[in-house]
Structure 1
Amino acid sequence: MSWRILAWSALGFVALLAAIGVTWLVLLPGSPAPGTAPAISRDETEATLAALKPPKRKRPLIAIVGINDMTETTDYLMPYGILARADVADVLTLATQPGPVALYPALKVQPHATIAEFDAAHPDGADYVIVPALSREDDALALQWIRSQAGKGATIIGVCVGAKVVANTGLLDGRKATTHWYSVRDLQKHAAIRYVADRRLVVDRGVATTTGITASMPMALTLVEAIAGRAKAEAVAREVGLAGWDARHRSEAFQFTRPFALTAIANTLAFWNREQLGIALTPDIDEVSLALVADAWSRTYRSRALTFAATAEAQTSRGGVRILPDTAVADWPARQTAPAAVELPPARALDQTLRAIDARYGSRTADFVAMQLEYPR
């Protein structure tokens, strides 16, 4: 008799969980209604550019800081690649500790220096510090260093969920800010921060924040424009394949929806149908295109992007980042190779990758990835 009671109790518990899950899904919003992002006035654009002017040097020094275990891939590499391509500043990638930086969800790089080495070489600090999303948003070393750089007059730029890292330093208190759509509520828990919707980039008194992952592209171009003028930014934008880079954004288009949740659940449950997709790591590879392609494929919940090269030695990218291959092999099976895109300009590389994801896993998964990247399609 007791086993029957236990069996019925377990069945009832499972049924209750299922009912709660179904109710949760039903209550989630459906796909966002189509719409157009509100235009940005010329006055606001000029104010943003004025606020991002180099605070100290004519040729600025820009530091991109990460922690060694799990710093967001595109947040870390895209600003570096675009700013290095522009050649309007000296740009360095940093880590809080010696050794490589394992990026999330893909790639591993050898940074130019540690924060201690940077401080020894540049005691007067950077002009700009770019803060990506970090797996530990309360990392004591990172927070202390960011505060110290702000104290030396650096403009602090929190990319994507890097805004939460900056929030934890206290530097956003009393300021306006934005962040990735998934983390807006977390940012709003800081009562002293004023969240701003419908902007990809918000600047307030020496601290800037952006929306989701792909917003680091317009942010970097805006920084190029603030440093070197419109003509230079337009030239770099043509190279990376981006037509416009102002702060316009439609926040309503990015939210946790029923289709998003169902795709995450379905792709997670299909654990038997995972694949590893190889990307050839070659000398002078464009680090921005590589980051976008590897990031996108690794967010499908169906695949993970891995880099391979003939040897285990780091390969130096177009902009001078040393990228470590995940595996040393002479070749990779063609059917397990990510469709070629890294040779394209970054914006086109991402568009082609999303089309390839659509063809391989369906449009819902492509939309699911674009939503995570907060990329307007």
Structure 2
Amino acid sequence: MSKSIFIWSSAALIILALAAFGGWVFSLPSASATAEAPLVPQEEMDAMLASLKPVKRERPLVAVIGINDATETTDYLVPTGILRRADVADVVMVATEEGPILLFPALKVEADTTIAEFDAAHPDGADYVIVPAMSRDDDPAVLAWLMTQAEKGAKIIGVCAGAKVVGAAGLLDSRRATTHWYYLREMLRRSPTIEYVADRRMVSDGSVVTTTGITASIPMMLTLIEAIAGRARAEGIARELGLEQWDARHASAAFKLTRPFATTVLANRMAFWNREELGIRVEAGMDEVSLALVADAWSRTYRSSAITFASSASAIVTANGIRVIPDRAVSNWPEDHRVSTFRDQPPLNALDRTLEAIAARYGERTTNVVAMQLEYP
């Protein structure tokens, strides 16, 4: 088949797909609502900070739980990286089983320990358990472990769609909560007694906290640092991350499924002949927060996937002790298919630069799709 025939045939497939789903697609709003994030009363933030104060240990123990075959990249790595950078707690990356953790949509890492090993070493449980989004909300090992940790007094923090996992464990029944905008209806359908709270990036109810989409893990971790070590320490870490201020404000109405979002995703997915593998060199001592944000963003374009490479297949240890397993053991990658983690920039600046690079490569509509998935204000 000639290239021109191939392209026209693929274009026809897109047209047919649009026709098949046209009624649904064109029923969607043409744009997200323009919305202002309302102020959060100071007493509400004070109550959240009070609920997050450590009560079990002077130096808290934080467990970040993941399943081995599919745990969300940013949800798993960013809380770990930020809390270890702050050095206000002992942070342990936990897996359900032995072996590496395959993250989605990008990266592969080695966990520090398994659930069984963690329980043997810490029979009294963690102070905090951070729950990322997972490909399965009903993993029996995770649900049983979360319930046990809650019974032992751990504060449970459901990051992004990790709130669905917390809900599946029964820990959000009759509580106030939030989650990633795309999964909100699903969470409420499965856990109908949850009281959804709009216009908040994080919601606290008793010993459980939940957040909105992927990048909400950043203000959530800063809030946890403030609760553990004070405002000054949290502000210092925020500056290192490239963030001047943070709070729980969120313009929930601005995040919803729209016609441009759906049609861009469909067109990008159908254009399989333009799919690219973009290489990210992983190096010892690199910033794991930047790596996670950059790899996550490039892998959400529906046009590209981020592939890590290094000269050896051995795990590469990041600045704060995360062991990243390279996808490819190669010494180099074609220059026009390499992307940067902007090592000279703070992590959030690196994300901004990455979104600019995505716009230059694939256009503004694809960049908007990525930002919506990341729920990046």
Determine helix, strand or coil for the equivalent of 1:191. Answer: coil
How far apart in 2 are the matches of 1:162 and 1:139? 12
Q: Structure 2 counterpart of 1:100, which letter?
A: P
Cα distance between partner residues in 2 of 1:339 and 1:228: 33
Pairing of 1:1-377 with structure 2 (within 5 A): 21-189=21-189, 190-376=191-377
Cα distance change on mapping 1:122 and 1:25 into 2, 3 Å? same
Does the CA-based 8 Å contact 2:67-2:95 persist in structure 1?
yes
Distance 1:83 1:128 in 2: 12
Distance in structure 1 (CA, Å) of the matches to 2:269 and 2:282: 28
Aligned AA for 1:25? V
Q: Give, as a single letter, the amino acid of the residue that structure 2 aligns with 1:237.
A: A
The CA distance in 2 between the partners of 1:201 and 1:126, in whole Å, is 21
Task: Give 3-state SS (helix, strand or coil) of 2:70's partner.
Answer: strand
Describe the SS at the equivalent of 1:360: helix
Q: CA deviation at 1:40?
A: 1.1
Q: What does the per-residue CA deviation read over 1:16-47, in whole Å, with 9 as the maximum and x for residues that have no partner? A: 98655222122101112323210111111111
1:302 CA drift (Å): 0.4
SS in 2 for 1:130: strand
Residue type at the aligned position of 2:61: L
Matched positions, count? 363
Contact 2:291 2:341 in 1 (8 A): no
Answer whether contact 1:285 1:343 (CA < 8 A) is retained: no
Q: Secondary structure at the match of 2:98?
A: coil
Aligned counterparts of 2:26 and 2:48: Cα–Cα separation in 1: 41
CA distance in structure 2 between the aligned counterparts of 1:156 and 1:340, rounded to whole angstroms: 31
Aligned partner letter, 1:167:
G
The structural deviation recorded for 1:58 is: 1.4
Identify the range of structure 1 (72-81 vs 31-40) with the bigger mean alpha-carbon deviation: 31-40
In 2, the alpha carbon distance for the partners of 1:144 and 1:92 equals 19
Match of 2:11 in 1: none
String of CA shifts for 1:202-242, please: whole Å, max 9, x gaps. Answer: 01010010000000000000000000000000000000011
Q: Are residues 150 and 258 of structure 1, via their aligned partners in 2, closer, same or farther at CA, if it must alter by over 3 Å?
A: same
Q: Distance in 1 between matches of 2:340 and 2:350?
A: 10
Contact 2:265–2:302 (Cα < 8 Å) also in 1: yes
* CA 17–306 in structure 1, closer or farther in 2 if over 3 Å, else same: closer
Distance in 1, Cα, partners of 2:322 & 2:17: 48
Structure 1's 108 and 342: CA in aligned 2 closer, same or farther, altered over 3 A? farther
Label 1:225 to 1:97 Cα distance change in 2 as closer, same or farther (>3 A): same
Question: Bigger radius of gyration, 1 or 2?
Answer: 1
SS in 2 for 1:268: helix
Name the amino acid aligned to 1:38: P
Structure 1 residues 245 and 152: alpha-carbon distance in aligned structure 2, compared to 1, 3 A threshold: same
8 Å Cα contact 2:38-2:250 kept in structure 1: yes
**Conserved 8 A contact 1:55-1:154:** no
Letter in 2 for 1:98: E
Which letter maps to 1:23? G
User: How many Å apart are 1:284 and its aligned residue?
Assistant: 0.7
Measured in 1, the distance between the counterparts of 2:63 and 2:341 equals 31
Displacement over 3 Å in runs of 4+: 15-20
Q: Which runs of 5+ in 2 are unaligned?
A: 1-14
- Tell whether the 8 Å contact from 1:289 to 1:343 is kept in structure 2 after alignment: no
CA deviation string 1:162-198 (max 9, x = no partner): 0000000001001100000001101211221111111
Measure how far apart 1:344 and its partner are: 2.2
CA deviation map 1:134-170 (0-9, x unaligned): 1111000010011100010000000000000000000
Q: Identify if the C-alpha distance between structure 1 residues 310 and 20 changes in structure 2 by more than 3 Å, giving closer, same or farther.
A: closer
| TM-score scaled by length of structure 1 | 0.94
Deviates more, 1:278-287 or 1:342-351: 342-351
Q: Distance in 2 between matches of 1:312 and 1:369?
A: 29
CA distance in 1, matches of 2:303, 2:261: 14
Aligned-pair CA distance for 1:309: 0.5
RMSD: 1.4
Distance 1:265 1:272 in 2: 14
Identity percentage of aligned residues: 62
The whole-number CA distance in structure 2 between the counterparts of 1:83 and 1:210 is 17
When structure 1 is superposed on structure 2, of 31-40 and 362-371 the one drifting more is 31-40
Equivalent-residue separation in structure 2 for 1:16 and 1:132 (angstroms): 37
